[in-house]
Amino acid sequence: MSAGSAGGYSISAQTFNAQIAGIDTYWGFGDAAIVHHIDFITKTCMDTAIQWQPNDNNNGTADKANPWISSKLYAVLNGVNNYSTNAYNSVAHGVDASAGGILQLLPTALQDCMVQKRQLLESKYSVSGLLISSNSFAWADMGKLWLPNEVELYGAQIWSHVYSNSNAIQYPLFAGVAGCKGRLKTNSISSRVSWWLATTLSGASTHACLLLSTGVASNTPCSSSSIYAPLCFRIG
C-alpha cells in the first residue's frame, strides 16, 4: 500500500501478507448468483486507526439504511463520498473520501482484480427515532474493501443482530483452534490490536462490533479512535 491520504487520514506505506479466508464460500448465493471467488484477509491491520462513524450513532440513514454502507470506515476504505445528514435528528454519517481512499492506494493490478462483496446486510433506520436493533435486511454491495461480520469470524452471532448475519458462513481461515489464533492481529508498529467488524451492536444505537486485541468478541462506541482494520477483499 502506498502512502497517501484517505478521508482526512494520513496513511503510511505498508506491506501486507494476505491470507485466503475462503474459496467459493458464497458461490451461488445472493439475489443475483455470486460467481466463483476467493476472499482474502490480511494478517495485519493498517497502522492507522479509523473511526467507524464520526459520532456514536450506529443507525443508517434515509439514503443508506445499512449502517456499514453509511459508515465513515466504509467510505475511507473504498474512496467514496457517503457523507449525509439525512438521518434521524440530522446527525452526520460517513465522510467525503471521493478524493481517494485506501483502495486507491493499493496497486492498480490488484484493484483491477477485485470485485464487490455482495451480502445480505442489516437495515437499521427509522424516521421516528434511533433504533437499538436492526429492523430488516437487504442485499447490497459492501465494497471492494470490506470487513467480516460476527458469524464469518466467530462462527456464531454474539453481540450483533440476526439481520447482520442472515446468510453468513464462517470463513475456514477462522474455524477451529488454528482459526482462533488467526483472528488475532497486529499492525506493523505495535503488538496486538483491536479491529472492527462490519456489524452493529444489537440493543444499543451507539456501538459497533469488534474483536478485542485479547481475542474476545466485543463492541465499542462508533467514534472510537483506537480501533484498526485489516484489508479484506474479493477476487472473482
pLDDT at residue 29 in the model:
95
Position 180 scores a pLDDT of: 87
Q: How many domains does the chain have?
A: 1
Q: What does the pLDDT read at residue 177?
A: 85
Cβ neighbors of 230 (< 8 A, separation 6 or more) are 41, 42, 43, 44, 45, 46, 147, 185, 195
Whole-prediction pTM value?
Answer: 0.97
Q: What is the pLDDT of residues 167-181, one digit of tens each?
A: 899 999 999 988 888
pLDDT beneath 50: ranges in the chain:
none
**Which residue range is the domain that position 197 belongs to?**
4-235
